Structure 1
Amino acid sequence: MSAMDKKIDATEKEVLAEIVKWTQKQGMKGAKGGWKEFLDFYDERLGSSLSDPSRRTVDTLAAFLKTFTNDEDLKFLAKVMQCHSNRKAVVELSKSSPDLESPQQKLVCLTLEHPQYPLNYSFPFHSEEWVVTKLGKSSKALKSNAMAAIDCEMVLCEDGTEAVVKVCVVDHNLEVKLNELVNPNKAVADYRTDITGISAKDLCGINCSLADVQESLKKLLSGGTILVGHSLSNDLRALKLYHARIIDTSFIFKILDGPRKPSLKDLCKSVLGHELRKEGAPHNCLDDACAAMKLVLAKIEHGFEHAIVFPHKDVPETEQDKLLLHAIPVDVPKEGLLNIFPKEFKIEFKAKENARGRKYSVFAIFKNRQKANEAFERLQGDEQQDSGGRPQKLVTIQLSTGLTANLYVRKMVCAGSPDQSTSLEKKLAKVEELINKSKKRKTDMVITEELAEPKTNSDQCTNHVKEIKRLKQELCQKDDEIQNMQKILSALTRKHGL
């Protein structure tokens, strides 16, 4: 029995059907031609009239795949088969014995079942440079609780792609397993030093390549080790590595107010109780890998089943006169963006530092906050919220070439958040309103008590006395509230010099 026969025997119909679909997308042809040509030859009764692979038998799917004999085709099919088989095995293990799942395996499944998983982890793993890790022959690999956390730093290359320049890996004890600078081996357009902390000088004399890192990771992940990371898909895409058993820390915590994808910095503050890094400081690859592992260990130990609430960050008034234009294709010139807004708005564009890959971002700066809000409201496009709860619209623009391009225009303040310039005034007004209401209530209760006349009916008198006592008690509580509110008012007034 050939190696391909063994793989096919061990693979289920669903996986085989997916692989056949892949061959169709790639236009691959075996000894009997493509999929439909093969069906016309193989099935005299139905032929290609029933071409949906998922509706064909395992024997038919396997027979088609066996028509591929070219070495390159076989490598491609083996890689795709390995990838689908790995993920299928992980999911099936969870379904077959959910009560026996370890906490680590539950987090793996939580990641795989997340609504954003199909979108974020749809990789071109069939490509030549991609590596698909193996889970091993036994079920022991599928049940392993060993974990390793990873983080990478990437630079923007002149061809528009991203390349890894640093990789750090730690185990569950936070012991460093890999800490390497990587030579991108192609021209770099932007080192993003303010973010990565890496410059051209740091990479002088570095011989470690992406292929070297891939080999190291294959060894580290052998035996079914679970790979941990925050927004791990970004790292795996840059590393060109597919691994089935993963935990994405941006997926495993419940977030209040919708499917917001939290940042590593926010999670560290809310879950671990400390700041990941100072504001404006560059990333530290090793710190980020350790932070991701700590988050997983905290989730395993404490559960964190409740929804995490991230407070809306105050946006300085100077930032509220801006709109962010992001996910702009690199072939769209900045001049072409001027047509998005009416001419009466004076706009200055300022590049955003963390532009990534084939997209870039700019700020549109207006005369004031009101003008920015008006410009956003006039935009044609479906309004939605970004991962941070800020309103944004998907906008289509016409280019001078006659083509169209899509991009997002986003406000700086979260939906439902008050304008920062007026928030203090509203707080002060609210405190004063509550104080005045409490004072009026106090006066009304005094008058009520003075006007209360004794009744001949003893039951009525008793009821009135009880009511008066209750009102007195409530009055005391209101007095305490007034004192506290006055303290708040005084503190706010002193703080802001009002």
Structure 2
Amino acid sequence: MPTSAEEFAALVRVVKDAQRRFTAAPSEHPGCDFKAWLKANVKRPENQRGDPSRHTAETLRKFVETLGTALGTARVTALTKHDQWRKKRAEWDEWGDDEVVDAKGDRAWALVRRTRKHEGFAEAYYRLPSHEPPWRRTKYRPVRWCVEKEMKPRLLGVDCEMCETDDDTRALVGVSVVDDEGNILLKTLVKPPGNIVDMRTEITGLKAENVLAAPTTLSDVQDRLVELCKPGTVLVGHSLMHDLKSLKIDHQPVIDTGMLFRYKNLPRSTPSLAILCETLLKRKMRQTEAGYHDSVEDAKAALDLVLWAVREAKPIFEVDAPPHKVDAEDLCKLFIHRIPRGTSAEALKMVFEETDRAHIESVQGSFLDATTTDSAALGGKKTTSCLVTFTDTKRANDAFERLDGAVTKDAIGRAQKSRALPLDSTDRSVSVVVRRMTSSGSVVSAGAAAGAKRPANSVPATVPKSKKVRQRKPKSIALPGDKS
């Protein structure tokens, strides 16, 4: 049976993943050493080619069969089906791009289109690994198809609470779903799998003993949400991709308020949900004494912003950025992020010149000096951040100025520099980022720092008017999710 392009691509990806596993932990994954397998099973010169894409599908398939079901053949099958589904989705998207939009049509569908046109949409929503267990995927219904079926969009606000476990940095511990009439359709705590590393109680107010006692699991929540996501359902949230990753659900269409609104003159920054509510809805969020996040409040806030934009004749999609406020006592600090967990405070001081290290009073970070010494964890994505406090503001400024490297700006204009941080006694190192606490537009006060840092929307605020034309789905294009 000939190998399809999707199957060959899946074989290559599985082999590359095996190579990465072996490189990260050779003793744990000896069977993933593709190069060693080639030398033992394939003749020259083919066994000298390290790149899987330079081998035949038959060679790759034989190696994959040695990996077992979880890492090998089952994964290839899942990836192949996923690539075929993505290809069908791309065909539908191409068909949908030809839609002639009626400016007097449903305003909610216009906001779905606006979200889809955001420059970060594909990266955020089209790379969800929904082929991996325990992910679930709802039936895909393109906007144009829904419009042609004269479906009124059913808007559901979604917000999740998350913690960090030993195998998931965004493990689900709570979820709320509300409809456009303010009804709470789902509100529950969720018991996360694995061991909790960081409960994030200071953000959510949730305690580990409560979520560990919850009878609801991720699978239970997925069943309920998939049941709610009938054709025409639009999920709404602020930076909703993070909630979908926590829920492990791939759903379209969506409206992401983090992709609808932006700050003026800050192309890489997006207003927080609280700022948008205060500016556009004239109400303040999180007014409880503790100030914890509430998933119902956040879900309703995102949904209310969408309903506001639907009602307004000329909705505002750009808001003025508030002044960045910095506590006076923070001026003597520098912020360092992208630090591998397990890095010691003493090692971090080596980022600075010897002259400046003598004036460091403290290095504070939640996950510095962690007990893990695993090289994959230290060199991987599990990073943390810290604050380095100097004896006074001048010492902090001088230390930053003496750092080698080009000065760049973060999303709200604060100067930062990248620096190499040695990981151990060998030559291995990682790049960390040292950042000032203030920008040129900062205001020194007793207030806390404000401002979000997500990619911005550069899409025009209005949809161009044009004559509505009745359109039909080409019979030659099968809808992703339909039975063949």
Bin the TM-score by the shorter chain: 0.5 to 0.7
Counterpart secondary structure, 1:294: helix
Distance 1:394 1:71, change over 3 A: closer
- Counterpart of 1:261 in 2: which secondary structure? coil
Aligned partners of 2:335 and 2:387 also within 8 Å: yes
1:169 aligns with 2:177: yes
Which residue, 400, 403, 406 being the options, matches 1:379? Answer: 403
Structure 1 match to 2:128: 123
Structure 2 residue matching 1:126: 3-state secondary structure: coil
User: Is residue 271 of structure 2 the alignment partner of residue 265 of structure 1?
Assistant: no
Paired residue for 1:202, among 198, 202, 210?
210
Give the partner amino acid of 1:179. K
Please report the TM-score for the alignment, with normalisation by the length of structure 2. Answer: 0.68
Segments of structure 1 that go 5 or more residues without pairing to the other structure are: 1-15, 29-50, 53-69, 422-498
The aligned counterpart of 1:349 is 363
**SS at structure 1 position matched to 2:326:** coil
1:26 equivalenced with 2:14 (yes/no)? yes
Within the alignment, does 1:112 sit opposite 2:116 as a pair?
yes
Aligned to 2:442: 417
CA distance, structure 2, for counterparts of residue 203 and residue 87 of structure 1: 39
Q: CA RMSD in A?
A: 3.1
Q: 1:407 to 1:237 in 2, by over 3 A?
A: farther
Deviation at 1:88, TM superposition (A): 5.3
Aligned residue for 2:156?
A: 148
> Is 1:133 aligned with 2:138?
yes
> Cα distance 1:72–1:352, how it changes in 2: closer, same or farther (>3 A)?
closer
C-alpha distance in structure 1 between counterparts of 2:100 and 2:219, whole Å: 37
SS of the aligned residue for 2:146 comes to coil
Q: Distance in 1 between matches of 2:147 and 2:6?
A: 24
Which of 256, 272, 293 aligns to 2:303? It is: 293
- List aligned pairs for 1:229-378, cutoff 5 A: 229-259=237-267, 260-278=269-287, 281-302=291-312, 303-305=314-316, 307-342=318-353, 343-351=357-365, 358-378=382-402
Give the secondary structure class of the aligned counterpart of 2:260. coil
C-alpha distance 86-103 of structure 1, shift in aligned 2 (>3 A): farther
Answer whether contact 1:152 1:167 (CA < 8 A) is retained: yes
Q: Secondary structure at the match of 1:98?
A: coil
Instruction: Summarize the alignment of residues 366-445 of structure 1 with structure 2, pairs less than 5 Å apart.
Output: 366-400=390-424, 401-417=426-442
Distance across 2 between alignment mates of 1:265 and 1:415 = 24
1:439-478 alignment runs, 5 A limit:
none
CA gap 1:280/1:352 in 2 versus in 1, 3 angstroms: farther
Matched, 1:220 2:228: yes
CA change 1:348–1:267 in 2 (3 A) is same
Does structure 2 retain, via aligned residues, the 8 Å contact 1:261–1:388?
no
> What residue in structure 2 maps to residue 102 of structure 1?
106
CA distance in 2, matches of 1:21, 1:127: 16
Aligned-residue sequence identity (percent) comes to 30
Against the structure 1 CA distance between its residues 94 and 358, is the aligned structure 2 distance closer, same or farther, given a 3 Å change threshold? same
Cα deviation, residue 363, structure 1: 0.7
C-alpha contact (below 8 Å) 1:227/1:247 kept by paired residues: yes
- Structure number with higher relative contact order (C-alpha < 8 Å, ≥ 6 residues apart): 2
User: Structure 1 pair 387/334, CA: closer, same or farther in 2 (3 Å)?
Assistant: same
Count of residue pairs the alignment pairs up: 365
The structure that has the greater radius of gyration is 1
1:308-348 Cα shifts (integer Å, max 9, x gaps): 11211321211111111123222433332111112233141
Q: How far apart, in 2, do the equivalents of 1:95 and 1:272 lie?
A: 35
Q: Is the 8 A contact 1:141 1:223 kept in 2?
A: no
Where does structure 2 lack aligned partners over 5 or more consecutive residues? Answer: 17-52, 55-72, 368-380, 447-484
In 2, the alpha carbon distance for the partners of 1:185 and 1:24 equals: 30
Q: Select the structure that is richer in helix.
A: 1
Distance 1:139 1:244 in 2: 12
> What is the TM-score of this pair, normalised by structure 1?
0.66
Q: Quick one: distance in 2 between partners of 1:111 and 1:193?
A: 31
2: CA distance, partners of 1:119 / 1:194: 30
Q: In structure 1, how many angstroms separate the alpha carbons of the residues matched to 2:228 and 2:409?
A: 39
What's the secondary structure of 1:195's corresponding residue?
helix
Please give the secondary structure, in 2, of the residue aligned with 1:128: coil
Q: Do the aligned residues in 2 keep the contact of 1:321 with 1:372 (CA within 8 Å)?
A: yes
Secondary structure, aligned partner of 2:319: coil
Equivalence for 1:490:
none
Query: Alpha carbons of 1:106 and 1:404: their partners in 2 closer, same or farther (altered >3 Å)?
Result: farther
Residue type at the aligned position of 2:409: Q
Q: Would the aligned equivalents of 1:135 and 1:224 in 2 still touch at CA under 8 Å?
A: no
Task: Assess if the C-alpha contact under 8 Å between 1:86 and 1:134 holds in 2.
Answer: no
